[in-house]
Amino acid sequence: MGAFGRDGFFSICFMLISAAAGMGVLTVPWVFMQTGLGIGFGLLIYWGLLCSSTIYYLIIGGLHYNVSNITELVYYSILGEIKLDENSIELEESFKKNQTRKRIAKNITFALNVLILLDCLFFIPCLLILLSDFLIPVNQLVYRELPKLYQRYSNIKDSQFLTLMYNTILHVSLFFTNRNWCIILFCIVVFLICLPNNFSGVRVASVLSVISSLSTTTIIVYCAIRPNHPLECSEYTGSDYYCRKGDIMVINQNSLDKIWRIMSVSNIILFSHFCHFIVIPTTQNIRMSKKKIKLIVFAFSLAIFLFNGIVGASGYSTFRLNTLPNIINNYTEDEPLIILTRLYLTLSLTVTLCIETIPLVDSFTYTIKAILSSTRQCFRKSIKTEEINPCKCPESTDYTTAEDDSVSNNYSSTLASTANSTPYIGIHCEKKTERNIEQEREEEESAKKKVRSSCVSKEKLQKIINFIVLLSFSGVMATSFGSVAKLIQVTGGTLDGVFIFLVPGWVYYSTYFRFSNKFFGTLLLAIYAIHFIVSAVSGITELFRME
């Protein structure tokens, strides 16, 4: 297996990094403003170690149980059995002996899919808001500067084609200066990219996402170390955003006085490591030792720490107390490097949006199927109950008639006559089978192909409908929320904590706890539980504090 192959080391690292780097890197400078540089770096290191441990246990747990997603991992870890190849949860049910454990596992899997559905419904609006924030200033700049270019070069007016191009670009740029239209545009783009529901295309695009994140980090660092720093914020400053306020603090005393603020903003750092949904589908086919898997997780965690730490420190040191939740909004719109950064981040976050839309649609599809299946079962039970007791009939009633007796006698005589001619029928059937066995097989295969083609078209239609419903709902949510940082604070604690702490904690406890050091295992599970409670409470608190 090559290092850059489909399941190669760097391919998997790029996939994981692209799922996390583009999202949290822009909000970390705001976190540093809340906590100071010292506490900010401490939180980055601590959360990096904590989240990398959960990712590691998810990967080796997924490989141990031979599963393809996080819900299957929970299902089979509850059953304590390894999934057989090419068998889904529904097919496995008939082979399980412990019905009570199977029923519990199925209910928990359903609840987990609902949580994934809710979590992704919060996650996708975050990305849609960020993408619209990147695209709108670029369109505003094009709409403002394009007429100047048109006036400067008079030969454009002489060409009908160039004039048509000018008018088209001008109207398109004006059209997409509206956030709602930008959100609709990205929903359509994601719909077209994600419709095949395959990670292979996203796997290639993840390399582009990592390169974009590297370019973004380089540009923000360059803007921090260049000589012409932004001026101090005052009434004479031309821009309210491109200016700095206050001094650089190693420890923010205000945050220490309000320790809850640190716990709340730590949810953003938790969110920046968020790739737990795709970690199993990405790594399910690898056949590596635990040492190499640790190298994958270490490379991922180190890359996220470097991205977040460098961008966080550079952005905070540039604007200090004037740092906005999205650091890109602090810079001037017409600066060439920032325009390039917006384009880079648009590509990077589009890939991230596609990566996270796939588990959203899968969970939505599973949830709908589970609801319909339970509804059908209840309906069938009610019908069977009515058939068993249609009316109150006398207990002893003989329904046998003379007609039934004659039918029975005729059937018996037919059996007797058939028994006498059995050898001849057997020989005839053998000859017929030898002659037509290939034709029967072809007919069966053609019938199966017809069924498969009809099922595929039906599944594709369901997928299209699910995409439209979920992306429409996400678009409506994106237009309702104004602050990405606030939305991440709510999502990071209340929902992401389940998949970042509870699910890996359960996998570790059910599979590896009895084989490891009891002191280490108990301490690790206690840390997971405490941080889940703290992050959930702080996230819920921020939900009620949202403006």
Name the residue with tokens 């660092």.
221
320: β partners: 245
Whether residue 50 is predicted with pLDDT greater than 70 in this model: the reply is yes
Closest CA to 106 of 70, 79, 68: 79
Which of 32-36, 403-407, 537-541 has the highest average model confidence (pLDDT)? Answer: 32-36
The whole-number pLDDT of residue 528 equals 93
Which residues lie closer than 8 Å to 416 by C-beta, 6 or more apart? Answer: none
For residues 56 and 23, give the distance between their C-alpha atoms in angstroms, rounded to a whole number.
Answer: 21
The whole-number pLDDT of residue 60 equals 92
Answer with the residue of higher pLDDT: 398 or 163: 163
For 476-500, what is each residue's pLDDT tens digit? 888 876 666 666 767 777 788 888 8
Answer yes or no: is 239 within a domain: yes
Answer yes or no: is 523 within a domain: yes
The whole-number pLDDT of residue 400 equals 46
Lookup: tokens for 73: 């991992």
Scanning 481-517, the segments in alpha helix (DSSP H) are: 484-494, 496-497, 503-507
Residues of the domain holding 525: 9-378+455-545
Cβ–Cβ under 8 Å, residues 220 and 32: no
> Average model confidence (pLDDT) for the chain?
77
The whole-number pLDDT of residue 316 equals 94
The whole-number pLDDT of residue 522 equals 95
Cβ–Cβ under 8 Å, residues 365 and 120: no
For 265-300, what is each residue's pLDDT tens digit? 777 777 777 778 878 877 777 777 888 888 888 988
Whether residue 439 is predicted with pLDDT greater than 50 in this model: the reply is yes
C-alpha distances (whole Å) from 511 to each of 73, 359, 528 are: 11, 24, 16
The whole-number pLDDT of residue 277 equals 80
Answer yes or no: is 399 within a domain: no
Whether residue 321 is predicted with pLDDT greater than 80 in this model: the reply is yes
For residues 304 and 45, give the distance between their C-alpha atoms in angstroms, rounded to a whole number.
Answer: 10
Answer yes or no: is 404 within a domain: no
Average pLDDT score over residue span 85-93: 53
For residues 511 and 459, give the distance between their C-alpha atoms in angstroms, rounded to a whole number.
Answer: 35
Average pLDDT score over residue span 391-410: 45
Where is 473: in which H helix or E strand?
helix 422-480
Closest CA to 336 of 542, 80, 129, 145: 145
> For residue 526, what pLDDT band results from cuts at 50, 70 and 90?
very high
For 187-196, what is each residue's pLDDT tens digit? 888 888 777 6
Biggest alpha carbon–alpha carbon distance for the chain:
112
User: How many domains in the chain?
Assistant: 1
Q: Dihedral sign, CA of 446, 451, 453, 454? A: positive
Q: Which of 42-51, 151-160, 479-488 has the lowest mean pLDDT?
A: 479-488
> For residue 162, what pLDDT band results from cuts at 50, 70 and 90?
confident
For residues 280 and 57, give the distance between their C-alpha atoms in angstroms, rounded to a whole number.
Answer: 10
For 205-219, what is each residue's pLDDT tens digit? 777 778 888 888 888
The whole-number pLDDT of residue 490 equals 72
For residues 161 and 211, give the distance between their C-alpha atoms in angstroms, rounded to a whole number.
Answer: 35
Name the residue with tokens 């990566």.
355
The whole-number pLDDT of residue 422 equals 40
Answer with the residue of higher pLDDT: 473 or 490: 473
The whole-number pLDDT of residue 444 equals 59
Answer yes or no: is 145 within a domain: yes
> For residue 521, what pLDDT band results from cuts at 50, 70 and 90?
very high
CATH number of the domain bearing residue 516: 1.20.1740.10
C-alpha distances (whole Å) from 214 to each of 64, 217, 278, 345, 416 are: 34, 5, 21, 10, 85
Q: What percent of the chain has pLDDT over 70?
A: 75
Whether residue 524 is predicted with pLDDT greater than 50 in this model: the reply is yes
Rg (CA), the chain: 31
For 92-149, what is each residue's pLDDT tens digit? 554 545 788 888 998 999 888 888 888 777 778 878 888 888 888 889 889 988 898 8
The whole-number pLDDT of residue 114 equals 86
Answer yes or no: is 403 within a domain: no
Closest CA to 26 of 410, 307, 250, 286: 307
Q: Which of 277-286, 301-310, 440-449, 519-528 has the lowest mean pLDDT?
A: 440-449
239: DSSP letter: -
For residues 30 and 312, give the distance between their C-alpha atoms in angstroms, rounded to a whole number.
Answer: 8
Which of 3-12, 191-200, 400-409 has the highest average model confidence (pLDDT)? Answer: 191-200
For residues 448 and 467, give the distance between their C-alpha atoms in angstroms, rounded to a whole number.
Answer: 28
244 — phi, psi (to 5°)? Answer: -115, 155
Lookup: tokens for 9: 């080391």
Whether residue 384 is predicted with pLDDT greater than 60 in this model: the reply is yes
Answer with the residue of higher pLDDT: 386 or 63: 63
Answer yes or no: is 358 within a domain: yes
The whole-number pLDDT of residue 314 equals 93
Answer yes or no: is 254 within a domain: yes
